[in-house]
Amino acid sequence: MTQKTILITGANKSIGFETARQLGALGHRIWLGSRDGARGQAAVERLVGEGHDVRLLEIDVVDDGSVRQAVGRMQQEDGRLDVLINNAGIPGGMSKPSQQELADIRTVYETNVFAPIRVTQAFLPLLRSAGGGSVIMVSSGLGSLGWVNDPSHPFHAVNILGYNSSKTALNAVTVAFAKELAAESIHVNSVDPGYTATDFNGHSGYRSAEQAAAGIVWLASQDGTGPTGGFYFDQAVVPW
């Protein structure tokens, strides 16, 4: 397998960290994106101790200057990026749709929608330098209108305005980038890691981080003939 250079945002813990571990085990070079330098460095040291090629990249995905600095460092040290995994995200409040504050919804959108746009646009020159690459948006099944509007589906009962709609919007962002970048052999897809036990949900999820990361790793491992403009859960297509 050809070694890829891979950036994962929000990777100092949980699904992002496990994704870095699994991709590192496949022999890829991992840039572990973390807003908190100390926590990111601790995560890097754990993975390097396991024998993986991992480097820390301090990046705050909601800050233009931080993203520009991250791009500059990667340009200087690697000059290319094969796979960008937009993993960083936040849940926001759990209020009823009629009661959730607009300020809270805006905060959710800043991280879950606008940040992936910002990061993808900023790193596109490095993806282009790789001669084709992949962008993976870590979405959620709660962003599937088909699932949350189906009374027979478990997600029908989860009616969180800010978070759910932010992931639906992220899926639309995926389609937009996929359509534009197809001619440049840059594939863009969304992935649902499933309801995973993480700090994100108070460890209430039924899936492990290992299970969640596997679907992301599958997309990251695709070659130039792989899919683009899709939404996947455990390698199966999810309805928009």
Domain that holds residue 161: 5-237
What would the mean pLDDT of 13-21 be, rounded to a whole number? 95
Q: Rounded to whole angstroms, how far apart are CA atoms 61 and 57?
A: 11
pTM for the structure as a whole: 0.95
Confidence band, pLDDT 50/70/90 cuts, at residue 209: confident
Q: Rounded to whole angstroms, how far apart are CA atoms 39 and 48?
A: 14
Confidence check: pLDDT of 17 > 90: yes
163 has catalytic annotation: yes
Confidence band, pLDDT 50/70/90 cuts, at residue 200: low
What stretch of H or E contains 135? Answer: strand 133-138
> Residue 166 to residues 55, 91, 125, 140, 145: CA-CA distances in angstroms?
30, 10, 26, 10, 12
Confidence check: pLDDT of 199 > 70: no
- pLDDT the model gives residue 2: 72
- pLDDT the model gives residue 197: 47
Residue 229's CATH number: 3.40.50.720
| β-strand pairing of 83-86 with 186-191 | unpaired
Q: Rounded to whole angstroms, how far apart are CA atoms 45 and 126?
A: 26
Give me the number of domains the chain comprises. 1
> Residue 230 to residues 9, 11, 17, 53, 227: CA-CA distances in angstroms?
20, 23, 24, 29, 7
Indicate which residue of 109, 163, 195, 232 is catalytic.
163
Q: Rounded to whole angstroms, how far apart are CA atoms 232 and 63?
A: 29
Q: For tokens 């978070």, what's the residue?
A: 163
Tens-place pLDDT, residues 218-230: 999 998 889 999 9
| Mean pLDDT, the chain, integer | 94
Gyration radius of the chain over CA positions: 17
The first and second tokens of residue 137, run together, are 């948006």
Confidence check: pLDDT of 204 > 70: no
Tens-place pLDDT, residues 106-154: 999 999 999 999 999 999 999 999 988 999 999 999 999 999 999 999 9
Which residues, 6+ apart, have CB-to-CB distance to 66 below 8 Å?
Answer: 35, 58, 59, 60
